[in-house]
Amino acid sequence: MPAFRVGAKPPAFSWTVTMLDLIERILKEIRMLRESTEGLVLNGSVPDMERYRFLMGRLEALKLVEVTVKDLLNEREENL
C-alpha cells in the first residue's frame, strides 16, 4: 500500500531532519558499542593482554568518532 494516494503530492522531504535522525542513530550505536566494550573490560572477562589492548583501542576509536561527529554537528549548528 503506498504511503500516499496515487496522483497526490508526496509528503515534503526534509533532508535536515533525515540527516539528524541518521546522526542520532549513529551516536546511539556508538554509545551502545562503547558501553558494551567497557563492560567487558570492567568485568574482568578479558582473557589476555592482546585482547585487552584490542578492546582499549576499540574504546579509543569509538570515543574519537563520537567526539568528531558531535563536534561537526555543533559546528554546523553554529553556522546556521
Q: What is the pTM of this model?
A: 0.73
Q: Is residue 43 part of a domain?
A: yes
Q: What angle do CA 51, 28, 18 make, to 5 degrees?
A: 140
- Within a domain: 70: yes
**Which of 78, 72, 60 is closest to 26 using CA atoms?**
72
Question: Which carries the bigger pLDDT value, residue 22 or residue 59?
Answer: 59
8 Å CB contact between 58 and 39: no
Residue 43 identity (one-letter amino acid): N
Residue 58 domain-assigned (yes or no): yes
Higher pLDDT, 24 or 9: 24
Check residue 19 and give its pLDDT: 83
- Domain membership flag for residue 12: no
The answer to whether residue 7 sits within a structural domain is: no
Of the two residues 17 and 28, the one the predictor is more confident about is 28
